[in-house]
């Protein structure tokens, strides 16, 4: 089992950031690596169990299923059903926590997964930096 953990501080309240990212279908609107997204079977994007079907900018197709959504804890959890990355049992959580000292929030994005032996470092780098940190960097730019 490989674990990836990335965290940052965003200069906006947890409520503000959450309103932007809680929509499971909204990744193209805030993450620079995502080209398009749709929710399969016309389901609502905040219905636990719904599946998002999207393409990355480099053309990869990924399907992910929403496993948990909490407006109280500002978090959602999802798993990968299909992707070109070569990961299995991939479960990821994005969570915001208010920082009471200032109009800021603490953002954590983590994943655990399994992969072929020897690919751990490459995938950790790709997911941790290429996906999670790249998303955080975009949010940091958005919230100055």
Partner 1 sequence: MLQKVVRSTIIDAPIERVWAVLRDFNSHDQWHDVVEASRIEGDERSDQVGCIRSFTLRDGDRIREQLLTLSDAKHVSTYCIVEATVPLQRYVATVTLKPVTDGNRTFWHWESTFATPPGRERELRDMVAQDVYEAGFANLRRHLQRGADLRASSSGGAATMTTMPTALPMPTRRIAVHRYGDASELHAEDAQASAPEAGEVRIRQRAIGVNYLDVYLRRGWIPHLLPLPGVPGMEAAGSVIDVGSQVTSLMPGDRVAYLGPAPGAYCSVRTVPAAWVVRLPPTIEDDVAAATLLKGITADYLLRDLAHVGPGTRLLVHAAAGGVGQLVCAWARRLGAIVLGTVSNEEKARLARARGCEHVIVTRDYRFADAVQRACGGADVVIDGLGDAARDENLAALARRGHWISLGQASGPLAPLPPDALLAKSLTFSRPVVFDYVTTQVSLAERAQRVWTALADGTLPAPLIERHALAAAAQAHARLESRATTGALVLIA
| Position among 35, 99, 134, 138 found at the interface with partner 1 (CB under 8 A) | 99
For residue 139, what are the contacts with CB-CB under 8 A and spacing of at least 6?
8, 10, 17, 20, 21, 30, 107
Answer yes or no: are the C-beta atoms of 78 and 94 closer than 8 Å: no
- Note whether 136 binds partner 1 by CB under 8 A: yes
H-only helix segments in the chain: 14-21, 27-30, 120-125, 134-142
Q: Which of 3, 5, 32, 40 binds partner 1 (CB under 8 A)?
A: 5
Which listed residue (49, 59, 118, 144) binds partner 1 by CB under 8 A? 118
Q: Which of 42, 58, 72, 101 binds partner 1 (CB under 8 A)?
A: 101
Using CB under 8 A as the criterion, which residues of the chain lie in contact with partner 1 when the complex forms?
5-9, 97-102, 104, 106, 108, 118, 120-121, 133, 136
């Amino acid at each position: 089992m490989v674990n990836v953990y990335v965290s940052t501080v965003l200069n906006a309240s947890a409520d503000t950031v959450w309103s932007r990212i809680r929509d499971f279908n909204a990744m193209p609107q805030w993450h620079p690596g995502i080209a398009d997204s749709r929710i399969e079977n016309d389901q609502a994007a905040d219905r636990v169990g719904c599946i998002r079907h999207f393409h990355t900018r480099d053309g990869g197709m990924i399907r992910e299923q929403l496993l948990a959504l909490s407006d109280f804890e500002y978090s959602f959890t999802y798993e990968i059903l299909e992707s070109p990355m070569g990961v299995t049992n991939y479960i990821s959580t994005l969570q915001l926590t208010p920082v009471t000292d200032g109009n800021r929030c603490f953002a954590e994005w983590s994943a655990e997964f399994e992969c072929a032996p020897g690919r751990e470092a490459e995938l950790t780098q790709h997911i941790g930096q290429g996906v999670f940190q790249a998303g955080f960097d975009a949010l940091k730019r958005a919230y100055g």
